[in-house]
C-alpha cells in the first residue's frame, strides 16, 4: 500500500524567508509521480510542482522547488522568499501506475501542512 | 476555457435524501476522478473513470455511485445521504492515466447532511 506522510501539521514563517515543507512517501513501484498542491482559504486546489520518479534533476517552478531524495523516499517542497499570499494548506500527493490493479488511479494525498506567513 | 467546473457549489441535505453532483471538463480529458476532503485530512479518492462509459472504485466508494455517459461529464450520486457524507467534494480530470500528468481540480462542492 502506498502512503504519504506530512509531519508538519502547521508552520509559522516570517515573510521573505525560505520554507521547507516535508513529505515522505512509501511505494513499492519504480514508476511514480509526486505532486504538490496548494489550497488557499478559498478552497480550490492549485497545482504547484511535479517530480517524476525517473527525473534526475529536482523540479523547479518559479519560487517553488522540489527536493527529491529517492533513496530516502522524500519529496520536500521548498518555497523561496515567502510571501503573505503563500499562506495556505499544502498537500503532497503521489500517483503510481495502478497499484490497485486497474490503472489510471487517482492521487494519494498526505494530510497537509498549514503554512502561515507572518509579516 | 473553463477547465473543470462543479455544480452545485453548496448543498444542504437531510438524512436519507438523494442528490447528484455534476462535474464537467472542457479539456477533452479521458480520465476523471471524484474525491472527498474531510477536516484534517487530505483528499481521498471515491470513484474514477478512465473513459466514457467506464467507472471504477477508489479508496472510499461506499454510499456513492457514479456515471460517465459523456466524455466531458462525470456524475457523483448519493442515493441515501448520511451525516458521515458531510464533506467537500472535488472533481478532477487528467490527460493521461500515467503518473506523469497532473490532475486539474474543480472548485469543490460543500455538502452538509443534517
Query: Is pLDDT at A101 greater than 50 in this prediction?
Result: no
pLDDT for B93 equals 94
- Across the interface, of A32, A44, A96, the residue whose CB is closest to B105 is A44
pLDDT for A102 equals 45
Query: Is pLDDT at A25 greater than 60 in this prediction?
Result: yes
> Which among A8, A93, A32, A104 has a CA at the least distance from the CA of B56?
A104
Chain B hits for A97, Cβ within 8 Å: 97-99
- Decide if A4 touches B, using CB distance below 8 A: yes
Q: Are B94 and B104 in contact (CB under 8 A)?
A: yes
Pick left, alpha or beta for residue A64 (phi over 0 → left; psi -120 to 50 → alpha; otherwise beta): beta
Whether omega for the bond prior to residue B94 falls within 30 degrees of 0, making it cis, is: no
Chain-chain contact of B48 with A33 (C-beta, under 8 angstroms): no
Chain-chain contact of B100 with A50 (C-beta, under 8 angstroms): yes
- Decide if A70 touches B, using CB distance below 8 A: no
Which H/E stretch holds residue B9?
none
10-residue stretch averages of pLDDT, chain B, 114 residues long: 92 97 96 93 91 91 96 97 97 83 93 97
Query: Is pLDDT at A2 greater than 70 in this prediction?
Result: no
**d(CA B81, nearest CA chain A) in Å:** 23
Chain-chain contact of B40 with A111 (C-beta, under 8 angstroms): yes
Number of CB pairs, chain A paired with chain B, less than 8 A apart: 77
- Decide if A103 touches B, using CB distance below 8 A: yes
Q: Could you write out the three-class secondary structure of B43-75?
A: EEEEEEECCCCCCEECCCCCCCEEECCCCCEEE
Of B32 and A95, the structure prediction assigns the larger pLDDT to B32
Chain-chain contact of B92 with A53 (C-beta, under 8 angstroms): no
**d(CA A82, nearest CA chain B) in Å:** 23
Long-range contacts of B40-44 (CB under 8 A, 24+ apart): B40/A111, B41/A111, B42/A4, B42/A91, B42/A93, B42/A109, B42/A110, B42/A111, B42/A112, B43/A45, B43/A91, B43/A93, B43/A107, B43/A109, B43/B90, B44/A109
pLDDT for A96 equals 72
Pick left, alpha or beta for residue B35 (phi over 0 → left; psi -120 to 50 → alpha; otherwise beta): beta
Chain B's closest residue to A100, CA to CA, is B58
CA angle B96, A6, A59 (to 5 degrees): 50
Overall average pLDDT of the A42-71 stretch:
95
pLDDT for A1 equals 55
Amino acid at each position: 500500500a502506498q502512503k504519504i506522510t506530512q509531519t508538519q501539521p502547521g508552520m509559522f514563517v516570517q515573510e521573505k524567508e525560505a520554507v521547507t515543507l516535508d513529505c515522505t512517501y512509501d511505494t513499492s513501484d519504480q514508476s511514480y509521480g509526486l505532486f504538490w498542491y496548494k489550497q488557499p482559504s478559498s478552497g480550490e486546489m492549485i497545482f504547484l510542482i511535479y517530480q517524476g520518479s525517473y527525473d534526475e534533476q529536482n523540479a523547479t517552478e518559479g519560487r517553488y522547488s522540489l527536493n527529491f531524495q529517492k533513496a530516502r523516499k522524500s519529496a520536500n517542497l521548498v518555497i523561496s522568499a515567502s510571501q503573505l499570499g503563500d499562506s495556505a494548506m499544502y498537500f503532497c500527493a503521489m500517483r503510481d501506475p495502478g497499484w490497485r490493479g486497474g490503472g489510471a488511479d487517482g492521487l494519494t494525498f498526505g494530510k497537509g501542512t498549514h503554512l502561515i506567513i507572518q509579516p | 476555457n473553463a477547465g473543470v467546473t462543479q455544480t452545485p457549489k453548496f448543498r444542504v441535505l437531510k438524512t436519507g435524501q438523494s442528490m447528484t453532483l455534476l462535474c464537467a471538463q472542457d479539456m477533452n480529458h479521458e480520465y476523471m476522478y471524484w474525491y472527498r476532503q474531510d477536516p484534517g485530512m487530505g483528499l481521498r479518492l471515491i470513484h474514477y473513470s478512465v473513459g466514457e462509459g467506464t467507472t471504477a472504485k477508489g479508496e472510499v466508494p461506499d454510499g456513492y455511485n457514479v456515471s460517465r455517459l459523456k466524455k466531458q461529464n462525470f456524475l457523483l450520486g448519493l442515493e441515501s445521504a448520511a451525516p458521515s457524507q458531510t464533506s467537500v467534494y472535488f472533481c478532477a480530470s487528467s490527460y493521461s492515466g500515467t503518473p506523469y500528468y497532473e490532475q486539474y481540480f474543480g472548485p469543490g462542492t460543500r455538502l452538509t447532511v443534517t
